[in-house]
Structure 1
Amino acid sequence: MKRCLALIPMCCALAGPALANCAAAPDPVISLDYGSRYQDGDSSRSTLDEDSNAAVNDALRPVDDFIRDLASASDDVLRGGAKAQETADCVIAQIADWARADALSDLGSFTARLSVGARISGIAEAYRQVRPFASDLSAATTIEDWLHARATEQLAFWEKEATTGARVGNLRGWAALALLNVGEVTGDDALVAWASASAVRILCTARADGSLPQETKRGAYGLHYQFHALSPLTTIAARLDGVGRPITGLCGDALQRVVAYAFADYDAGGALTKGYSGKDQSYFDGTESLEPHELAFLPAYLRLFPGSPLVTRANALETLSNSKLGGNQRLLWDPES
């Protein structure tokens, strides 16, 4: 089977009978209502409240587990094989169950509306990946109408309700990737344009050294959130570049600068971000390690900049997968993977 890359051309679509045996989707999550992960009064959103953080994780776990399952199945589809079409049909059937239930339609808190974008992105990306391979698209309208409703709600939130700082932070980037995915599968260019403008808005806040002010002020997690912003921003830039709408040269090659800053500061033990936040960084104080899923944007980045020295870092990692980016990024961006 021909491997399809990030643009998923319709030439790769298959024909054949629909899947006869597909596991039911997990129960759709209709409502999300949770507070901040961070301590009350922490305007920098940098000091986790352990109980609140656990409550947020518990609320999101069913959604995130579903997205991981969808991404795993989507990977199987892109790898090809005798069951690729059946698996694609199953992914679509499972997403359709959530669409019919109007999942994620009742977001009862500001924080839920702030953070749901990455989840919409993950589901929409799984659908985008498998749709060309499916034999049964009878639920396509149901799914696309549902995704479009969630996307337009996100657009309204970010334009009308989000705080000034959040509008130039990583969660705006994840919402932008969601709207890019939905805009592509529904043919709504206004959503694609909003995604592009949002990515540019974030990138253009970068300082001369490439640091993102909204992220690097966040105490011990400043560098963590700089890296967290790179996944949606790089993916958006690579996808737009692939359709002749490049943003990589804007604001003084901002994307290259923000990526370079993150790796330079990681190599410096977080000293650069400590200079902005006043705190030792979480990757170096025993709190956490930089995980491969945080670097899953590298194949998309290397598609944009194949001569980058970051190819050495990418090649050293066995896995470059992030479910909210659609799973194994080498399958999407590296034709030799």
Structure 2
Amino acid sequence: MRPWIAALAFCTPLPAIAACDVVPDPVISLSFDSRYAADDPSRSEIDIEAEAAAKEALADLDDFITYLTTRTDAAVGAGDRDAANCVMAALATWARADALSDLGSQTAQLTIGSRLAALALVAAQVAPAAPVGDTSVVSAWLGRRMDSQMTFWETASDGAASGNLRAWAALAGAATSLLTQDPVTLGWAGWSLGYVACTASQDGSLPQEMQRKQLALHYQVHAVTPMVVAAALLEQQGVPVMNRCGRALDRIVDFTLKDLAAGGVASAAYAGAPQTLDAGVEGLKDFQLAWAESWLSLRANPELEALVAPRRPLRYSKLGGNQTRLWNAR
């Protein structure tokens, strides 16, 4: 397995860039309600107005993450130390403002994990080129945000605590640990990943996601994404997770790929509804398969390799950008 962080290298390009971009204003407070209908316990019926409000609330943060990952891909891909410094400087601006320190709703707390994961994965990529001062400020900031997440998840409802959002928080912890080297955060990330993975049925379906009616397979895929990348990062940091609960992760990935190929038949049987992903693997967007690169670093899978090869490079901003570059040295 290739340790991608250690493999990054930078040189000083000619000509060097003149100055960094102006950084978007830091988002300090974030508060929005669930995008799902309040009277729908399956969380499969979208409330159109609530979804629009959530997207608006997250727009500045998500735009910042897209900005960072785009520039990180360019900087690291070219070995451009100056451009990498600018990425860390942008993160440091948000860190010094203590961005995301005021999460004013439970939904914001539940969903911030994927954004923290993206920020930490970006920071870890550019850290080898960045000034120690900026890196230290960013590491401390992300450490504080993860401390808040760990506290929050201790009292989350059973359903949320075993679903895809907990998996994203586990990825955030695994990614933040690359910077902070904090054993508590690293251990919590491993424990949280196991907490979700060990709920898997014998066939690899995730019960919490199979309750989501027509969205069951969609959310199985959404859970697999952070689980696989977190597993790869944890294994690299000396936390073995692949054999837990009867090799649960292998079963989860196997179920996901088989059911995608079958057009969601198994998920439909669990959920009692035809699946929105009934077009199967071919209906997936490239970013929905970005996790494959980290999985292939853990497990040989000729079928998965053949599936993703024509789609490369696979990118996903919430995973820190170009996964093909990060995991495969292509």
Q: TM-score, normalised by structure 2?
A: 0.94
**Alpha-carbon deviation of 1:184?**
2.1
3-state SS in 2 of match to 1:104: coil
Structure 1 gaps of 5+ residues are none
For 1:171, the equivalent position in structure 2 comes to 165
User: Matched residues in 2 for 1:11 and 1:221: separation?
Assistant: 38
Partner residue of 1:319 out of 313, 316, 320? 313
The superposition leaves residues 275-328 of structure 1 with CA deviations (integer Å, 9 ceiling, x where unpaired) of: 111111112389x94211111000100011124421111112133111111101
For 2:32, the equivalent position in structure 1 comes to 34
Partner residue of 2:296 out of 288, 294, 302? 302
User: Matched residues in 2 for 1:93 and 1:47: separation?
Assistant: 41
Aligned residues: 327
User: Matched residues in 1 for 2:244 and 2:313: separation?
Assistant: 31
User: Matched residues in 2 for 1:299 and 1:239: separation?
Assistant: 12
Say if 2:226 is the partner of 1:228: no
3-state SS in 2 of match to 1:312: helix
The superposition leaves residues 34-86 of structure 1 with CA deviations (integer Å, 9 ceiling, x where unpaired) of: 101100121111111111111111111111111111111111222124xx101
User: Matched residues in 1 for 2:7 and 2:256: separation?
Assistant: 36
3-state SS in 1 of match to 2:24: coil
Partner residue of 1:199 out of 193, 199, 202? 193
3-state SS in 1 of match to 2:44: coil
Rate the CA distance shift 1:331–1:231 in 2: closer, same or farther, 3 A: same
Q: Is the 8 A contact 2:312 2:324 kept in 1?
A: no
Partner residue of 2:129 out of 116, 127, 133? 133
User: Matched residues in 1 for 2:285 and 2:328: separation?
Assistant: 20
Mapping 1:100-179, distance limit 5 Å: 100-134=96-130, 136-160=131-155, 162-179=156-173
For 1:95, the equivalent position in structure 2 comes to 91
Say if 2:2 is the partner of 1:8: no
Seq. identity, %: 41
User: Matched residues in 1 for 2:100 and 2:4: separation?
Assistant: 27
**Alpha-carbon deviation of 1:28?**
0.8
3-state SS in 2 of match to 1:309: helix
User: Matched residues in 1 for 2:40 and 2:302: separation?
Assistant: 38
Say if 2:45 is the partner of 1:47: yes
User: Matched residues in 2 for 1:273 and 1:154: separation?
Assistant: 30
3-state SS in 2 of match to 1:47: coil
Partner residue of 2:323 out of 315, 329, 333? 329
User: Matched residues in 2 for 1:307 and 1:224: separation?
Assistant: 22
For 1:62, the equivalent position in structure 2 comes to 60
Q: Is the 8 A contact 2:146 2:173 kept in 1?
A: yes
3-state SS in 2 of match to 1:215: helix
Rate the CA distance shift 1:15–1:51 in 2: closer, same or farther, 3 A: same
Q: Is the 8 A contact 1:44 1:218 kept in 2?
A: yes
Rate the CA distance shift 1:285–1:77 in 2: closer, same or farther, 3 A: closer
Q: Is the 8 A contact 2:35 2:51 kept in 1?
A: yes
Higher mean C-alpha displacement, 19-28 vs 322-331: 19-28
User: Matched residues in 2 for 1:129 and 1:137: separation?
Assistant: 14
Higher mean C-alpha displacement, 228-237 vs 239-248: 239-248
Higher mean C-alpha displacement, 65-74 vs 307-316: 307-316
**Alpha-carbon deviation of 1:14?**
5.9
User: Matched residues in 1 for 2:8 and 2:65: separation?
Assistant: 26
AA aligned to 2:133 is S
**Alpha-carbon deviation of 1:146?**
1.1
User: Matched residues in 1 for 2:28 and 2:106: separation?
Assistant: 16
User: Matched residues in 2 for 1:151 and 1:227: separation?
Assistant: 24
Q: Is the 8 A contact 2:12 2:82 kept in 1?
A: no
User: Matched residues in 2 for 1:263 and 1:174: separation?
Assistant: 20
Higher mean C-alpha displacement, 273-282 vs 235-244: 235-244
Rate the CA distance shift 1:142–1:168 in 2: closer, same or farther, 3 A: same
For 1:71, the equivalent position in structure 2 comes to 69
3-state SS in 1 of match to 2:5: coil
> After the TM superposition, which segments of 4 or more aligned residues of structure 1 sit over 4 Å from their partners?
13-16
AA aligned to 1:173 is A
User: Matched residues in 2 for 1:32 and 1:6: separation?
Assistant: 34
User: Matched residues in 2 for 1:190 and 1:166: separation?
Assistant: 22
User: Matched residues in 2 for 1:124 and 1:199: separation?
Assistant: 17
3-state SS in 2 of match to 1:38: coil
Mapping 1:16-31, distance limit 5 Å: 20-31=18-29
User: Matched residues in 1 for 2:152 and 2:250: separation?
Assistant: 29
